[in-house]
Each structure stands twice: as C-alpha cells, then as structure tokens.
Chain A
Amino acid sequence: MAPAPRATGPLRRWFTGGGAAALAFSLPMILAFGFFSWWPILNSLILSFQQTNLVDPAVWVGLSNFAAVFADPLVAKAAMNTLWFTVLSVAVGFPLPILLAVAIGELRRTRSIASGFAYLPVIIPPVVSVLIFKQFYDPSSTGLLNTLLAGVGLGPVPWLQTAATVMPSIVIQATWAGFGAATIIYIAALAAVSPELYEAAELDGASIRSRIWHVTLPQMRSVMLIMLLLQIIGAFQVFTEPFVMTRGGPENNTLTILMLIYNYTFISGDYGRAAALSLILAAILALVSLLYLRATRGWSQGK
C-alpha cells in the first residue's frame, strides 16, 4: 500500500479504510467489462430502436423492429426448438458430469488419465469436432456410427435426416463437446469435500449410496445449482452445433433463436431486428434466472 495522501476528513477515512484499495482492485474488472461488455450491450440496445446499414447514419424507428420480430412465423418455431434442445441437453448433460465426477473421484492411480480422457473433447476446436461428427452421422448403412450400430443389431439410424432424430443427434454432439468442462469442475468440488464427513457417515453405518446421497451431493449443492443455471442459459444460446451441422434443417427443425438472430444479421442485414430479438431473448433469460435463483435460494444455503 502506498502511503496515504495528505488529505483530511472523509477522503482520508475512505482511503485508510481500504476504499482506495477496493477501487484499485475493482478497476481492471470495471474497465474490462465497461469497454468490452457493458458498453457493447448498451450499444446493441440502442441499435434495436434503429435501422442502419452501418454505412449511412442510423434512423430511429421506434418499436417497429420488435413488431417485425413478432410478425415472423419462424420465431415461434425457433423458440420451440430452442426449448426442446434445452430440455434434452440439460436432461443428459447435467447429471452425466456429476455421475462421472463421482466415479472418477473414486479412482486412484488412473484418476488423472480418466480426467484427461473426459476433458479431451473440450479441447478440440469446434471446427474440427463438428466435421468429425458430420462424418460419423453419415445416414447410409455404411456410415461410421451406423456400421457400429449394425454390429449390435441396430440401425441404420437417419441421424440428422428426420425431424425426430435430428435434435437428439445434435444434443449428443453438444454433450460430447461439453461434458468434460463440467466434469472437471465437479471433480475439483469433490476434492474439497472433507474426508472427515465420509468417515463420520461410515461410522454411522451409512451405505455407499447414502454416503453419496447425504454427504457428496449436499456438499456439492451450490456448485451444482450454479452449473445447472449456467447450463440452462448456455443451452438457450445454442448456435454453433446446429449452425455448422444442419444449418437449421431439416425443415427448420433445428433452427434456434440465436441462429435466427444470426440470419437477421448476416442474411437479411437487418441489425435492428436482430438486436430486438436479442433483447427479447436476454429478457427471457434474465427472467428464468431470477425465478431460478429465487426458487433455489433456500436450498443452496443448506450446510
């Protein structure tokens, strides 16, 4: 700490009371977010009430961008798809990393290998993994996955080709690409659970299942609640997988809200409408998060 400046009164109190230090430590975050997060968000907000081609000066158009969004029949379709993806991907992608982390936590010498395996897909750039999976999802009977399925007497599955199978296929790829990130966080959280708790539970004669149920899961509760929320928010923003794998097909069955925003922006060049839809999405996410946090406030305090 630098010596306090020759000031008196409230300023000095603020300074010696750590006010300056708090501000100095907050500064990098305030600057980073101010420049690269808060200001762009605000700017997008302004864009949603304007029409612009980014070359000529923008024109204020009031709420007409929002009206255009609600007039688009694809918005409802995209919303349903996004919801469906969210339900599927959370149903699969939320419990899987927890189970995996609990299992990996029981390994000793092979723990790092297992964690390494689990994390491997996360490292692979999307460009690469999507290309790989597109090859795997070859719908003909000679496709890679269908050949493997035929080995156990199943298939051929049409994967990305039908309305019924396309979303689960995308969820599989998205889960594959993402489960390792959550697993590694849960493994870190598990390592923080103190062994004494397990010992106590064991002395009480708790079975393994009840040790997991009464010790492990409650100890990880707050991490799990945050991860679930982040997963829901992330799923609502799904873009890369359907965009690269199916372009929203077949028949718009994988068109998501964010893809629609992308289309408004890059196909129609309609930035105002894109910004308006973005705001609507952001508002929905904020609402979902608030309700979620309110509903779980009681649970996460449990110690």
Chain B
Amino acid sequence: MKKRARSLGAVILVTGLVALAGCSAAESGGDDDGSVTITIGNLPSTEQAASRDAILAQIKAFQKKYPDITVEAEETYWDPATFNAMVAGGTMPTVLTVPMTEIQSLGQRGQIADISAEVEASETLSALNPTIMTTVTGPEDEIFGVPINVYSQGLMFNRAIFEEAGLDPDAPPTTWAEVASAAKTITDKTGVPGLVLMTSGNLGGWTLTGMTYAFGDLMETSEDGTPVANVDNDSAIAALEFIQDARWKDNSLGANFIMTSDDSRNEFGAGRAGIVISGTDLYGDSVVNRGMDPQDFGLAPMPQAEGGLGALGGGNVQVVSATASAEQRDAATKWIDFAQIARFTDEDQAVAAAKAESADGLPVGAPGLPLVGADLFAQYNEWIAPYVNVPTENFELYASTVETIPLVPEPSQHAQELYAALDPVVQAVLTREDADIRALLGDVQTQMETLLAD
C-alpha cells in the first residue's frame, strides 16, 4: 500500500493499516523436529493465585517429563456464546474444559476431536469409571473427552433453616412426599421458600428431566440405537403434578419463578431457600463465592420414587480441539491425564493440588462423585486427609447413599433443545394455575419428534 494519500483521513487510515500489517499471525502447533506445542484453556485468573501457580508448576513438571511437548496456558474458558466463533476462528485452545451436557452435540457437530484411540492407549484413562465414561461416548463409540469431575443431581438444603423449622438436618427427605411436607413446613415456620426450582437458561428442563428419571422414566428412549422422543411420559406428568401441588396447594416454592442457576445459588447462599434441586458439587460455590456458613450446607441424594431410575449425572469434561493434529491430540491427552487424573494414582500430585486449593481458600474434600473406582478413591482421600477443610461429617449420609443410586446420563441427542423446550413448561406450571400439563408436554413431544427425525 504505497499510494500517496491526498488527505488527512486517508493518511491516518493507511498508516493504521500499515501498522496492522505488522501484526503477527497465529502460530501453528507441531514442528519438524518431533516437538509439539499445545495450548490449554481454563488457567485460573490471578485472584486465585495459588491454583494458578499450581497449574503453572504442573506445566513445568509435565514438560520435564515430556521435553518434546510445549504447553502454553491461557485464561480462555467455555462460554456457549463464544465457543462457535472460537472454533470457527481456530482460536480454541487445544484443551478446554466443557460442561458434560454439551459433549454429545459438540461431538456430533464435529467441533471437538474423537480421542478414543488416545484414551484406550492410556493405562490411567482407560481405567476411568465406565458409568461416567458413557456420558462422553458417542453413538459410534467415539470418545469426545475426559471427564475431570462429576456430580449427580440431588438436593442441596440449608441445615440451619431445617433446624429453625423443627426438621432434623441429619434426616433429609428421602421420598417426594417428604420433600413436599418439608418444603411446606419450612415455608410455614420460617417464611423462607421451602423448595426452590431453577426454571431458566435450560435448567428448568434439566431439573424436570432429573425429576422424571427419579419418578421412573427417560425423556429419550432408544430403539435399535436410534433415540426416540418420550417427553409425554407418566413420570414427567407426575413430576409436574408434584410441582403444581407444591406451588398452588402448599405455596411452598416462593415467589420467583425466573431462576437461572446463579439466581438459585444466590438465594441458597443467602439462606433464602430451604431446599434446591441442583448439582451436588456446589459446596465450594456456596461457601467461597456466596459467603455461606460451611456448617449450614447440607446435601441429600435425589429421592427415588417407586421404580425410580436414578440420579441425572453431569460434570465437566476436558475436550480436544477438532483442528488438533495427531501429535497434538496425543500430547493433549497426555496432559489431561497428567494434570487431572494422575492425582488419583500419584500421592505427590494429590497432595500438591490439595495444598494449593486450601491455600486459595477453596474447599478440599467437598462432596462429589468419584471419577475412579472405590479403592483408588479411598486411597486418594487418605492422601488428602490432612488438608480437608470441609465439615465432612455433614456429608457422610450423602456419601453412603450415593453409591446405591445409579447415575443416569443426560439425553444423548439434542439435550439442550429438549431442556430449552421444557423451560417454558416448568414456568407455565409455576405461573399459571390452569396450566394443562399433558398439552404442554404433548407440544414438546411433537417438537422433539421433529428434531430427532432429522
């Protein structure tokens, strides 16, 4: 661009463009000499100094072990609004942590890599809990990622409010009838909403799907490997009738029915909710980010009706970019194994991670589901015992019952669309006394049939 500009504006603009041309282009991974570079997302921000340093130290240790692999960390994290643009622009880091719910649709859209070969080649990764691995396994046995933490849907409850209402926090509700009566008692005795349900941002559908499992039906069944919509089943109807009665007969669900996950966590953290149906991995969020007293945090497994199928499972998965080369895929899988999974088999790693977390004021030993078999998990818990900083005695009951309740994966196809379509159904039942449950579910059934037929 060496044209002579003839006016102020053009001069400035051309100068700008010339300066731009000096900007570097994106570098590519993989060099000629067998060395490979990968980028990893989810580097903790500076306000979590110890966790950030722990990751950086891990990278150092990893590179000592694998001198050919260069790992560059960035603070990029999963966000549904930017992920597609990130993939399109090729700026997705080689490794990124993604919610389990997204895995199937991302895999089917070809936006993340199939790493089944790499996982099967790894001793530790192939030993991961098979129940959990189903959630990241595609219809043709592809593996779209490595689960790095798992939770099941259950009841979070506020122990202080239970006591205030005259309920025993060590005997939380185990049937839906008990949930309803506890919610009513809490509302009547304390004025706090007894049961808070999430309704927006697809979490209404997520909650209803989990309740449907607990009442005994799936939202999508499978016929010869093809998924079939099963939205208008009896259990979904029963779950919605339960919500309807709690809302219009007992009035024990509070007044706010536009609830995102952040809203519900705020309500719970502030002691303005007796029970919340949510993921059971929110101890840290409630205590650290929302200032809740650790002693008030209670957990109970998802109550199962007669013939209940189990608890809906979810969690976070580390995925590999679809554009990664074979070398990068291999390096990325090694890194995930080293950084996330090895702590269950390597005492030094387990202790280092626990130390860093407790130094950051993050909870160590918070209740969750084991990624690995029971024996390995018990051993891991022994290693980190000195650093545990949560009132584990409050979670013993939950931990003992959680193993008896199977983990049921989310619908394998179009889960997000299903949830999005169910949000309004849950909202309708909560905001309109005359909501016709069967008709509402019938509409969603029709929508899902169309979607699944594609």
Contact = CB atoms under 8 A, between A and B. Distances in A.
A247 B258 contact: yes
B420 A267 contact: yes
Given A28-B13, A53-B109, A250-B258, A266 B201 contact: no
Contacts of A247: 200-201, 258, 260, 423
B258 A160 contact: yes
Interface string A242-253: 000111111110
25 contacts: A1-B6, A21-B7, A27-B9, A27-B10, A53-B110, A53-B111, A55-B323, A56-B110, A73-B443, A73-B447, A139-B256, A140-B255, A140-B256, A245-B258, A247-B260, A249-B427, A250-B199, A250-B257, A250-B427, A250-B428, A250-B431, A252-B424, A262-B81, A267-B202, A267-B420
Contact of A269 (B12, B105, B323): B105
A158 interface: yes
Nearest to A54: B88
Contacts of B260: 247
A262 B111 CA distance: 19
Given A252-B424, A269-B109, A24 B257 contact: no
B249 interface: no
A54 B6 contact: no
B322 interface: yes
A225 interface: no
A24 B9 contact: yes
Interface in A26-69: 27-28, 31, 53-56
B255 A161 contact: yes
Given A140-B256, A269-B109, A263 B420 contact: yes
A251 B428 contact: yes
A20 B424 contact: no
A25 B7 contact: yes
A205 B199 CA distance: 62
A48 B84 CA distance: 16
B80 interface: yes
Interface residues of B, number: 45
Interface string B253-283: 0111110100100000000000000000000
B244 interface: no
A138 B254 CA distance: 11
B440 to A, nearest CB: 9
B351 interface: no
B428 A265 contact: no
A266 B431 CA distance: 27
Contact of A249 (B4, B416, B423): B423
B376 interface: no
A249 B6 contact: no
A249 B424 contact: yes
B9 A28 contact: yes
B405 interface: no
Interface of A: 1-2, 20-21, 24-25, 27-28, 31, 53-56, 71, 73, 134, 138-140, 158, 160-163, 245-252, 262-263, 265-269, 271
B5 interface: yes
Interface string B438-449: 000001000100
B417 interface: yes
Contacts of A246: 200, 258
Contacts of B416: 267-268
A26 B416 CA distance: 47
A247 B423 CA distance: 10
A139 B255 contact: yes
Contacts, number: 106
A262 B420 CA distance: 13
Contacts of A27: 9-10, 13
Nearest to B263: A134
Contacts of B256: 138-140, 161
B55 interface: no
Interface in B53-72: none
A91 to B, nearest CB: 24
Given A31-B13, A268-B417, A24 B5 contact: yes
B110 A249 contact: no
A131 to B, nearest CB: 10
Contacts of A248: 200
B87 interface: yes
B81 to A, nearest CB: 5
Given A24-B6, A28-B10, A267-B420, A161 B84 contact: no
Given A53-B109, A55-B110, A266-B80, A251 B424 contact: yes
Interface in B318-338: 322-323
A290 to B, nearest CB: 31
Given A53-B109, A55-B322, A246-B200, A251 B6 contact: no
A-B complex: 9 closest residue pairs judged by Cβ atoms:
A54-B88, A24-B7, A247-B200, A250-B427, A139-B255, A251-B424, A28-B9, A53-B109, A140-B255
A267 B10 contact: no
Q: Which of B9, B200, B427 has the most CB of A within 10 A?
A: B427
A51 B287 CA distance: 45
A249 B5 contact: no
A287 B263 CA distance: 40
Contacts of A252: 424
A25 B9 contact: yes
A28 B255 CA distance: 54
Contacts of A20: 6
A248 B84 CA distance: 22
With a 10 A CB-CB cut-off, give which of A2, A250, A252 has the most chain B CB atoms: A250
Nearest to B423: A249
Interface string B72-102: 0000000011011001100000000000000
B210 to A, nearest CB: 19
B15 to A, nearest CB: 12
